[in-house]
Structures are given as structure tokens and as C-alpha cells.
Amino acid sequence: MININSNKPKILFIHNTAMWYRRPFFKKLSEIYDIKFVFTHIQISKDIYGVEISNKIEGLEGVKYKALKNYLGIAFGVIKEAMNEYNILVGGSWDSVSEIIETIFYFIIAKLKRKPIILWSEEWGWQLKSFKRILATPLIKFIVSSSDAILVPGTKHKEHLISLGGSSEQIFIMPNISNISVTDEDYKKSDKLKERFNTRNKKIILYVGRLVKRKGVDYLIKAFSKLQNEEKDTFLMIIGEGECKNKLKSLSKALDIQDKVYFIGQVKNEKLPAYYLLCDVCVVPSITYGMGDPWVFVLNEAMYFEKPVIATDAVGGAFDMIKDGENGFMVQEKDIDALYNTMKKIFSNPELQEKMGKKSKKTVNKRFRYENMVDGFLNAVNHALNR
């Protein structure tokens, strides 16, 4: 890890919410810097994942943070926070109109105060061609050009920010990390799941995520239907809820594979390890629908459990996490045959499956740890302060 001056920089870190997988990162930063986290839309975790965050955020004990109230959907409190004293500001978002407005507020204030700004962006520009996007582009370029350093999770995200006016020298990769772990009890729970679903000595394909259009689960179901013709002892487990659930169930029934597709529903984070242990391969079949998937933490989690992974090229994290043929496969989006062929290739070669799983775990342990994330942040701060 990079050494920093004992005189800790004072940092104002503005972000939308405090997802459970971010908290260990925030905690580590608070041990290094004099840092305050300001959360502008804390309720997003409930809107997306159904996880409500209380005023006292578990995992952030001893960390300075504040959750702002919203008025007309905008956290106007960022203006006051940006007026306070700090050495460097971290933030920036254009995921929604309200976040663009908030970002412009505190970016302008930081510039007027002549304080360095670090932009943290997970966008990777996957076929963004909407009219709303065209209108927002000048503002986005202003945010990028106003930044002294930029943090991104992967290589495709870096390429995208360069296309928006950032320079390679000011962009630092700060990989996304999941804080999932495994205990002896998880192995026992996984064994019970095998009995519950009668899948002992069977092959399990796992999907974890929301059941919405951009996740492409219908393509996975169709590919699985083809696989059933040759791999009879194979089952597909689908974890998650969403607006497409009933349509996906109907599709499974229409393909006459409803007895081989298990819709598990929403599973709490602490119960997910048992399902990862249970499966043989994890698939992320996302498609182009708006912006694709910027990362998908399921890849981190499945790889941690020594599982081969398959993802489409509409998944930003796949370009950094998957080495084709070594720990899994990356396939073209909406390609049912490609999903089918890669699943078949893994299942038809047990030695390859085991080798891929071990490579997955090795990759995660080496390149996708919180220490890697902190190092990326330290590099960006040093660059911004020394410009």
C-alpha cells in the first residue's frame, strides 16, 4: 500500500448511499484520512435492492458521515457541505437529473474555493444514444473536465471517461469489491439446500440479480432449455425478484422446463454463500437496455467461491474479471447459442470446470480486494494534490 504524509488531508466524500459492499472501503479510508462521507440519496438501496438503511449505519461505526434530506428529489444540503473546510472533494454523478444538479452545485463551489476534485464514475457508455443522454453530454463533459483526478472500476470505464475528455494520466482504476465471505455454517446450509431441492449429484447453473429486462434472464432460460436436451441432470436456479418474474416463469413453462428451473425469490445477503457453494457455474446474461450493467458484483462473489463464470459483453466488469477460457467465458449479448455452448463446454469437461474455478478464486484474491480499491483511491488523491 502507498505511504502518505502523516499530515492527513481533509476529504469531503459525497456519494449517493452506503451499500453494504462499500462500507468496508469507507471504513478503511477513515483510518487513513480525515474524511467525512455525505450521502445524498440514502434510500436508493431500498429502491433497488429492498434493503433499508437506518440512521446508524452498521459497519460505519466511528466513521464521520451524514445522510442528507431530499427536497423535490434534490439534496440541497450539499451546498452547505461544499462550503465547509476540506482539502479535497470526492464525488460526482449523472445517474439522474437530481444527481446532476447536486454535482454541479458542489463542483462549482469546490472550483471557486480552488479545491482539488476527484470524480468517481462507474459509467462505461455501453451504447448510450438516448435523447436525454445527448442533452446531458455537455454537462457530463463539464464534470469530467472540472476533475483533477478520476476514479473508475475497470478498463472499459477508463476508455469511456477518456472519450468524455479525461486524460489517461488522471484516471485511476479502483476495482469494485464485494465483502461476501464463507463460514463452516454456510457449507452445512448448502448441504441442506441439496436435500431441499433434491439436487445432490446434479449440475446447478446459478443466476443472482433483479428480474428486469436489462438482466437478460430470458436468454439464459432459452439457452438452458437447449442444454437440457443433452444435460438432463442440470438445473437452473434463479435468485431475485422483479417485474419480469411472471413472464420468465411463463417462458419456462412454455419451453416445458418448469420442473428444472427454480425461482428462489429474494435471498438475504447472509444466505447467499450457501447458494454459491451449491452451484457449478454462475451466469450473468445482461443485455443492452439503456446502458448495460456497469459492473455486476455477482462476478466477484461467484469467483470468490471458486466458480466458473459466464457473462455477456454488456457487463462492464466482465472485461476485467473474466479471462476467456481460463476462469470462464465472455459471450456476445443476446446470443442464446453462445450461452448454451459455453455452459455445455464447462459441464462436459469436469477438469476444465475445476481449473476455471481455481483460477477465479486466484484472480479475486490477487486483484479484487479492498486493499486494491484503497490503493486506487490513494493514487488519485496523491495525483490531485500534487497537480
Each residue's pLDDT tens digit, 4-29: 444 789 999 999 999 999 999 999 99
Find which of 47-56, 137-146, 336-345 is predicted with most confidence, using mean pLDDT: 336-345
Residue 168: pLDDT above 50?
yes
In a domain, 5, yes or no: no
Q: 193 with 143, same domain?
A: no
Q: What is the mean pLDDT of the chain?
A: 93
In a domain, 1, yes or no: no
Residue 126: pLDDT above 80?
no
pLDDT at 2: 41
pLDDT at 130: 66
Q: What domain range is 243 assigned to?
A: 184-367
Q: 84 with 212, same domain?
A: no
Using the CB atoms, write b or e for 97-123: b if 16+ within 10 Å. Answer: ebbbbbbbbbbebbeeeebbbbbbbbb
Name the more confident of 261 and 50. Answer: 261
Number of domains in the chain: 2
pLDDT at 47: 72
pLDDT at 292: 75
**What value does the mean pLDDT take over residues 24-45?**
95
Q: 109 with 64, same domain?
A: yes
Q: 276 with 318, same domain?
A: yes
CATH number at residue 230: 3.40.50.2000
**Dist CA 142 CA 224 (whole Å):** 45
pLDDT at 88: 97
Residue 83: pLDDT above 80?
yes
Q: 140 with 191, same domain?
A: no
Q: 336 with 194, same domain?
A: yes
Q: 193 with 107, same domain?
A: no
Q: 340 with 237, same domain?
A: yes
Q: 247 with 375, same domain?
A: no
H helices within 229-309, ranges in order? 245-254, 272-278, 298-304
**What value does the mean pLDDT take over residues 269-289?**
95
Decide: helix, strand or coil at residue 10. Answer: strand
Please, which pLDDT band fits residue 131 given cuts at 50, 70 and 90? low
Q: 152 with 243, same domain?
A: no
Residue 327: pLDDT above 90?
yes
Q: Give the predicted TM-score (pTM) of the model.
A: 0.93
**Dist CA 99 CA 79 (whole Å):** 13
pLDDT at 232: 86
pLDDT at 3: 44
